[in-house]
Chain A
Amino acid sequence: MNTIETEVDVLVIGGGTAGPMAAVKAKQANPALRVLLLEKANVKRSGAISMGMDGLNNAVLPGHATPEQYVREITIANDGIVNQKTVMAYAANSHAMVEELDRWGVKFEKDETGDYAVKKVHHMGSYVLPMPEGHDIKKVLYRQLKRTRVEITNRLVATRLLTHEGPNGRVVAGAMAFDCRTADFHVIRAKSVVLACGAAGRLGLPASGYLFGTYENPTNAGDGYSMAYHAGAELSGIECFQINPLIKDYNGPACAYVTGPFGGYTTNAQGQRFIECDYWSGQMMWEFYRELQGGNGPVFLKLDHLAEETISQIETILHTNERPSRGRFHAGRGTDYRERMVEMHISEIGLCSGHSASGVWVNERAQTTVRGLHSAGDMACVPHNYMLGAFVYGKLAGESSAEFCATHDFAPVDAGQVAAERARVQAPLLRANGLPPSQVEFKLRRMVNDYLQPPKVTKKMEIGLERFEAIREDLGQLQARDPHELMRALEVHAIRDCAEMAARASLFRTESRWGLYHARVDHPETNDTDWRVHAQLHKAADGRMACFKRAIEPYIVPIDATDSSAYSRLRIPEAAEA
């Protein structure tokens, strides 16, 4: 295991959506900076949008929505627990980002006048902008990376950040990584770092039992959450899990957003609608769960009532963009949208602020609580941020990183941190016998299902914590036969950290909120008196995982009482007897 040392000004970890944008924007802010984009897979096809994306879920475009309206909608959709300044920073930059992506060559749907063809899917406003030819988005990003001369390394798996205790508090000093082909160990010094490692998408175990049959790209194993945690950064809203309504077994999105504007919708087994709005929220998932529990399930995506040309158009969009293998899955089961509804199910849990709210705490400039460390995309806590939010926060993170470099030199590298991490990374390769990473991962993720899947039960979560502690011991027996398996072994470390975070944050918030995302059987009511606060999590001075409350900053966009319950009224009332 060779050790390779590198030095750059800005280190961006994660080459999916937010990461490339951060790297490009840091370089544009100051072309003299050395900007390195470090990717675990290959930047050309990495991250959540590896094959493209079929639309923007949250575009805030003039003539269709205002930033204030969007901030109000997300505040309500996330049950009041938002730092509105961060949501506003997204909303205010949303239009300029769409325009820039448009100039770069991303194709958005436009009407006959050339205006963006925005659709209504959310409960209150209109924000969905289709991208029927969104399969090229990674190519567009790659072209910009080349044009701005961002340095790229592929197949390097970052495992820990380097930090230094400076006079003004903890500051980032770089990161450590290893090559999943050669197992070479890399120490990368940097003045500022952007963490953009995606969701913790390999947390719960899919019902299929297939470890990689996840909703999120399974490379996004929670590495970023784990790195931020061990660097001492604050995380927030971890208890607000990501749980999605997905195509059963395939575990990809059924895409009611895409089909909704064409007339598709979610139904129960009788073909009846039961929710007013298909926008993903905890409240919507709660109604979905109730429908399954109440004996009216399974839940389906209904398209069979639509005209042939509409269905063909839906097929083209759904089978060529985000998850193109979907058509193959349906063909294998004999599901033709013309004749049969698509069976849906509730996904296993994950952590993802792109969809819900769990992530690394950031301010409106994408800065974390560790100086010089930024975070953006699915892993940064800006609720319901989706792909466009990743781009906007990538931009903010890149610009802030460049600025940090202008006023800060390299922080010293702690040789002790390097030695300890090198030993941790190398250990599984040195063991002549031990536990296979796949087996430990299977057991860990099955325990996540058994003890953390909502509705959350206090006693079960406490037992879950005991099991995760036992698995911490097992990590010391992981054996890797080659560098590839070493990557899986270290991912198990990160998944275990995320499991513990999910349990501790959920136990901390002794109320129910966000519908199914944080439904606590022992605390069924929402308690605004004590819990209208952010629940934060960090590594305390004694090295233990600790939770604490952080007050919500005064709203910049007021919410009136009638609006605030809009997302609590998602269920369609039973038809009155005639």
Chain B
Amino acid sequence: MTTMTTPIRPQALTPSQVPVTVDADKCIAHKGCTVCVDVCPLDVLAIDLSKGTAYMKFDECWYCMPCEKDCPTGAVHVEIPYLLR
């Protein structure tokens, strides 16, 4: 818990190139589709409500590919994470 005597320790923003990309032209999240978000074992995908498309929110990927295989429009692409490539 924060108290008056505990200094706030800020957290850095660590940039990361995410392995899963979504083609906005093909993604039909705005029609209510959440397939890729549903099937991800690690729950790292989310829907950007302002854009109506899916995106990778957390760089915690097993490059296992249900998101790509199960996407009904072929909008999702999985790349091997850079550190492993």
Contacts and interface: CB of A to CB of B under 8 A. Distances in A.
Interface of A: 41-42, 44-47, 50-51, 154-155, 180-181, 208-214, 217-219, 249-251, 323-325, 328-329, 332-333, 430-434, 436, 484, 487-488
B4 interface: no
A319 B79 CA distance: 14
A45 B70 contact: yes
A488 B43 CA distance: 11
A45 B66 contact: yes
Contact of B69 (A155, A181, A324, A433): A324
A44 B41 CA distance: 9
A249 B84 contact: yes
Contact of A323 (B43, B61, B64, B81): B64
A435 to B, nearest CB: 9
Interface residues of B, number: 31
Contact of B80 (A46, A217, A250): A250
B11 interface: yes
Contact of A214 (B11, B43, B62): B62
Given A323-B64, A430-B1, A433-B9, A217 B84 contact: no
B85 A332 contact: yes
For the complex of A and B, the 4 pairs showing the least CB-CB separation, nearest first, are A432-B2, A45-B66, A45-B39, A41-B41
13 contacts: A42-B39, A42-B41, A210-B81, A217-B64, A219-B42, A249-B85, A250-B80, A323-B64, A325-B78, A329-B85, A431-B2, A434-B9, A484-B57
A contact patch SS = loop
B22 interface: no
Interface string B36-75: 0011111100000000000001101111111001100000
- Chain B interface main SS type: loop
Interface of B: 1-2, 6, 8-11, 38-43, 57-58, 60-66, 69-70, 78-81, 83-85
Nearest to B57: A484
Contacts of B80: 250, 325, 328-329, 332
A484 B43 contact: yes
Given A50-B64, A212-B61, 19 more contacts: A42-B39, A44-B66, A45-B39, A45-B41, A46-B41, A51-B65, A210-B84, A211-B60, A212-B62, A213-B81, A251-B84, A324-B65, A325-B63, A328-B80, A430-B1, A432-B1, A432-B8, A433-B6, A487-B43
A46 B8 CA distance: 38
A217 B1 CA distance: 34
Contacts of A212: 42, 60-62, 81
Contacts of A44: 38-39, 66
Contact of B84 (A50, A213, A324, A484): A213
Contacts of B11: 433, 436
Nearest to B46: A484
A50 B78 CA distance: 15
A332 B40 CA distance: 23
A208 B83 contact: yes
Contacts of B62: 212-214, 217-218
Contacts of B83: 208-210, 213
Contacts of A249: 84-85
Contacts of A211: 60
A322 to B, nearest CB: 9
Contacts of A434: 9
A324 B41 CA distance: 15
B42 A41 contact: yes
A201 to B, nearest CB: 10
